[in-house]
A and B are shown apart, each in its own frame.
Chain A
Amino acid sequence: MTAALTAKAGPNPAMRLIKTYPMELILTVLIVILIFTAPGFASLRNLLNVLRTGSMLGIIAFGMTAVIIAGEIDLSVGAGAALAGCIAAWFAGALDDSLGGLVAVLIGVVVALGVGFALGYSVGKFRHWFNVPSFICTLALFTALRGAANLITGGFPLATFPPGFDFFGGGYLFGIPFPVYIFALTFAGMHFLMNYTRFGRAVYAVGGNMEAARLSGIDIWWVKAMTLGLTGVMTALSGVLIASQIGSGTGTTATGMELDVIAAVIIGGTSLFGGKGRIWGTLIGVLFLGCISNGMTLLNVSEYWQYVVRGGIILGAVLLNQVLERVR
């Protein structure tokens, strides 16, 4: 048996490495190439910038991974992030006089996180009660939340944040951008949740076979709604960080972010059919997307070509996973 298994996994250790860690290897190769070809890629300043940009995306992507493993999808995260920033900015402006800037913005952030959770959880409940697919529900939110964000700001950036608030999105702690800490914490938290808790195991089961999970006594609708709610919170968190970084609540920010988030999850090997995927894979996907965008910009590749290349990468990653599935 063992002989048969090793034979299947590849005759030599190198082949086995390629089959087990394909995206990790591709990312390493990409980084090595960029170090030698892209001017300034290897500078600390640039790498920290890549990490900062990747953090905003990654925080949401970890939540999205759970949603996709549970067999659902959330298309509203870009608009949700914009809305969260605008809510925080609105509270900062409205309560500034009575409570002071920092308390006001803090209330705004808490409200934004709460709204994020409620929206995500409701999507799950809509799926349960009215059998509306999460694709449709979040497609509706995708446009509605964008509208709501602009209604709050009146169409103009709402620059109401108190001084010092820009630290969260734009500041450095011990030389590392602050969002990177949140990114790392989210990664650790989600990795733990998905691998070492009952809830995480239930997410895999629900996405892998809803009926089997239900008959095993798992509350499938609660599990699905919770993954969506969790992603709502992370979306809001990321939205607040983005608003903090650019210094205002802006209705048009994070446009198209949902597609990058989903792309990162898919590049990381998570199956859109549900039941399969890893938080670690999503981390690789986020870093991969970050490096390739940054690298192309440094290499002066036109923005239009960047779109084309990113599309190709998504397709390529899915094909690679399908091929590996067969040879494994």
Chain B
Amino acid sequence: MLDALSPHHRTGGLLEFDAVTKVYGQTAALSQFSHRFLPGKVHALMGKNGSGKSTLVKILAGVILPTQGTVRVNGADAAFHTPHDAFGAGVVTVHQELSLIPSLSIGENIFLGRLPMARKFGLHMVDWPGLHQAAAGLLQEMGLDLDSHRLVSSLSVGQQQVVEIAKAMSFNPSVLLLDEPTSALAAREVHQLFTLVRRLRESGVTILYITHRMNELFEIADTCTVLRDGQFAGSIEMTQASPALIVEMMFGETAKAKRPARKAIDRSGSPILAVTGLTRHGIFADVSFEVHRGEILGIAGLLGAGRTEVMRAIFGADPIDAGTVMLNGKKVGSPTPKQMKEAGLGYTPENRKEAGLVQVLSTHDNLCLASLAHIAPSGIVTRAREQGFVQRQISDLGIKVPDPMLPVSSLSGGNQQKVVIGNWLNTAPKVMFFDEPSRGVDVQAKRQIFDIIWDQAEHGLAAIFVSTELEEVLEVADRILVMRQGRIVAEVDPTATTLAELYRLCMEGPTT
């Protein structure tokens, strides 16, 4: 116990991968990955979604074991069955999602699960003075001006991220893994974080740094290692790297996305949805765009760029601070989901489990959730009345459902997603927002969902399509807006651009 509190560092964490492979069912998430991460440096790890980065993180964090191959820390074989094993070997991971408990103090959060005990009045009690002293020592050593007694809930996101790193450092790691530590931070906070990372590097800790932001690499990293399709795609010194070179390593030879022939969109009339100067302080700013009948507008951007937030705000699910929304030529004051639905807007949310479906209700009920006013204008609903609407979506969207009266939770991800879409198509919308409609569905269902979107657009629906997978945005959309840090920074024509180019637009920092 006391050992954990004493601030001595192990130095020189040499981290080696030798033909590490992780297989899930038929697919290899990581295959034959071999590399040496030299001690005392900041190593950036890059790769697009599905490249195997998160698998690597999970192996190092002790969440999963590799199927084959070995990981070595300072020359010793390491198999992390649990996160505890990883800590023991000196490998500590700071995950992307913050894991602090807001209602507890900084000190208690740092030593959670291993609170120092002391014998007082004959009782075995938590040694609060000792705990805060140790925490204060740790914070001071890292150059952080934070009071260990402060509650985490009173800290900014940036400060919480720093406390998270302090907690990781309390395990005296020789290898520290930072998984997208800046994704939720403001520019100033990023700067502070980098100061801390450099300090840790000087103290000899080996740092693995995962990010999607290109400009950060050049500021903080010493080397950059790239994964592609689960394989090692190369590693270079940052002094020899350029953004173009890294993007090339990430994407390799990319084929142009295949799209069906789409009708020319008539943009001469007035747009069906027009957004001007939409702002939500600290989330997104000055967002303006138009969508026309039959058009599929893609919004590309990295996680946290503000794509979902803009759509939720237009739909009235979140408040807006400034700007106007014009739907069908009419201005909407302050939107609510109910009002926007009545005006002809539909929204399929990004996480169907939490926000899209009522899992305990049947497929039948979920297909009628949004459209009850439409199905039963008098307020009286019968199963027979709903039946037509339910059957139409089941057959139109090809939903595979043994019995519509069984809970929707029994369906596969792809079919659940189709139920979310069907629920909204039943409201006969003029504009639909598709937020990550392909997340967590199999390849075949993904194709079917894209076909549904194209088909609906052919019939006049204006659609906004958002996906983290840029390939999909490129494939599905007629026109793409690129968002970065809450702003629209570019508009591109998917037929005249490449995946690498789109990725570069999404990733580039504000200064470069």
Residues of A at under 8 Å CB distance from B? 1-2, 4-5, 196-202, 204-205, 208-209, 211-219, 271, 275-276
Is the CB–CB distance between A215 and B338 below 8 Å? no
* Minimum Cβ distance to chain A for residue B433 (Å): 11
Cross-interface CB contact of B337 among A196, A197, A215, A276, cutoff 8 Å: A215
Q: Which of A196, A199, A205, A271 contacts B358 (CB 8 A)?
A: A205
CA distance A276 to B365 in the complex (A): 12
Contact check, A204 vs B342: say whether CB atoms are below 8 A apart.
Answer: no
Contact for A198 among B315, B358, B365, B372, CB less than 8 A: B372
A2-B402, A204-B361, A212-B358 given; name 7 further pairs at CB < 8 Å: A205-B369, A209-B357, A209-B358, A211-B355, A212-B349, A212-B357, A216-B369
Chain B residues with Cβ below 8 Å from A202 are: 372
Shortest Cβ distance from A213 into chain B, in angstroms? 7
Whether the Cβ atoms of A217 and B338 lie closer than 8 Å is yes
Number of interface residues of B (CB under 8 A): 31
B382 at the interface (CB under 8 A from A): yes
Residue with the greatest number of chain B CB neighbours at <10 A, chosen from A2, A198, A275: A198
When the two chains form their complex, are residues B402 and A217 in contact, meaning their CB atoms are under 8 A apart? no
| Interface-facing stretch out of B63-71, B127-135, B154-162, B373-381 | B373-381
Task: Report the bound CA distance from A217 to B343 in whole Å.
Answer: 11
Smallest CB separation, B60 vs chain A (Å)? 34
* A5 engages B358 (CB within 8 Å): no
23 contacts between A and B (CB under 8 A): A196-B381, A197-B376, A197-B381, A198-B379, A198-B380, A201-B368, A201-B369, A204-B358, A204-B361, A205-B369, A208-B361, A211-B354, A211-B355, A212-B356, A212-B357, A212-B358, A214-B337, A215-B349, A216-B423, A217-B338, A217-B342, A217-B370, A271-B360
**Using Cβ atoms and an 8 Å threshold, which residues of chain B touch A212?**
349, 354-358, 369
Residue of A nearest to B370 (CB): A216
Q: Which one of A199, A204, A209, A211 has the highest number of Cβ atoms from chain B below 10 Å of its Cβ?
A: A209
CA distance A198 to B382 in the complex (A): 10
Q: Are A276 and B360 CB-contacts (below 8 A) given A199-B379, A201-B381?
A: yes
Specify which of B338, B354, B379 is in contact with A218 (CB 8 Å cutoff): B338
Decide: A197 and B358 in contact? CB cutoff 8 A: no
Using A201-B365, A202-B372 as known contacts, say yes or no to A214 and B317 having CB atoms under 8 A apart: yes
A198 with B338: CB separation less than 8 A: no
Q: Is residue B403 within 8 Å, beta carbon to beta carbon, of the partner chain?
A: yes
User: Which chain A residue shows the least CB distance to B385?
Assistant: A196
Residue of A nearest to B340 (CB): A217
Residue-wise, chain B 330-353 has the 8 Å CB interface mask toward A (1 for contact) of: 000000011011100001010000
Confirm or deny: B288 has a beta carbon within 8 angstroms of a beta carbon on chain A. Answer: no
B456 at the interface (CB under 8 A from A): no
